[in-house]
Amino acid sequence: MHEYSIVQALLEQCESHAQEYKATRITRVILKIGKLSGVEPYLLQSAFDAFKEGGICREALLQMELQNLVLHCEACGEDSEQSEICYQCKQCQSTQVRAVDGEEMFLMRLEME
């Protein structure tokens, strides 16, 4: 259940962005969740609902966009989006690839007032 520690990090970021913009509350939190980030969106949602109480996100909706793995191929130079978890270039079958998206979790946008 590392979703709890992830939500704590997320809420800290929300607080500090709200401060930067002198906002009084955040109404929507938009995340990008990589399919290889090791995070279960359902668990993240329930952790968010449990921890948002009393803070800047108390009335915020959590919106999550799932991100497939995207690879950059060092051999042919192409980027490819993988619908399955597979670290191999779809164009040229090379395994000289590096992930450029889909492994991390990002806070993308905040709606605040």
Partner 1 sequence: MCKDCGCSIQDHDHTHQEGHSALHSNPQLNDAKTVEVITKILAKNAHEAGHNRAHFDAHKVLAINLMSAPGSGKTALLEKMAESGAFTFGVIEGDLETSLDAERIRAKGIPAFQIQTGSACHLDAFMVHKGLHEMPLDDLEVCFIENVGNLVCPASYDVGAHLNIVLVSVPEGSDKIEKYPVMFAKADLILITKTDLLPYFEYDIDHEKAQARRIKPNVDILAFSTKDEQSIQNVISWIKFKKSMRS
Binding site for Zn ion (CB under 5 A): 73, 75-76, 89, 91-92, 94
> CB under 5 to 8 A by kind: which of partner 1, Zn ion, none does 38 bind?
partner 1
The answer to whether residue 74 forms part of the interface with partner 1 (CB under 8 A) is no
The rounded distance, in Å, linking the Cα atoms of 82 and 48 is 29
The answer to whether residue 85 forms part of the interface with partner 1 (CB under 8 A) is yes
Give the pairing type, strands 97-101 and 79-82: unpaired
Residue 13 exposure: Cα atoms within 13 Å on the Cβ side: 15
Task: Show the binding pattern over residues 42-61: x = contacts partner 1 (CB under 8 A), - = does not.
Answer: --------------------
Q: Report the sign of the C-alpha dihedral through residues 92, 93, 95, 97, in that order.
A: positive
The residue among 24, 33, 18, 25 whose CA lies nearest residue 61 is 25
> CB under 5 to 8 A by kind: which of Zn ion, partner 1, none does 36 bind?
partner 1
For partner 1, the binding residues (CB under 8 A) are 1-2, 5-6, 9-10, 13, 17, 20-23, 27-28, 31, 36-39, 85-88, 95, 104-113
